[in-house]
Amino acid sequence: MFVILIFIVLTGCSLETKTLPQFYEKDLSKVTKIAIVDGSTGYQKTIEDNKVINDFLNDIKDIKFIPDENQESRSGLDYGISLHQNGEETFHFALTRVNGHYYHTEPAIYPIVDEFYTTLTIEED
């Protein structure tokens, strides 16, 4: 009986590999704004152009977020991304942290987001 209880507890606590659509509880095609914060500068760029939003989400939607074995708290941030629908923030994640858990990605998400952010011709806030 004890072994079964331990198995249930461990199974219930395990994290799974997921993609952005699996984390996001709404329809990604209905995102109306994306805000990206550059963790090294604190500056933010906000995108409200639907084509740019959809292109970006298409670039990252199939990336696998694979749980890190080490879930100890960390400091620092590369980029933080928030998704919005009709003026309301609906989801927020960092490149290595989603819903309070740490992940690495395949393929690497950092180069995709970094290139997107640095090539945006939008003023930083």
**pLDDT score, position 6:** 39
Burial 24-41 (b: 16+ CB within 10 A, else e): beeebeebebbbbbbeee
Domains and CATH numbers, the chain: 17-119 (2.60.40)
For 16-72, the pLDDT digits (tens) are 999 999 999 899 999 999 999 999 999 999 999 999 999 999 999 999 999 999 999
Instruction: Please give the helix or strand (H or E) that residue 82 lies within, else none.
Output: strand 79-85
pTM score of the predicted model: 0.85
Q: Is the pLDDT of residue 85 over 80?
A: yes
Say whether 73 sits in a helix, a strand or coil.
coil
Is the peptide bond between 21 and the residue preceding it cis, with omega within 30 degrees of 0? no
Average pLDDT over residues 5-20: 64
Q: Mind spelling out the 3-state secondary structure of 110-121?
A: HHHHHHHHHHCC
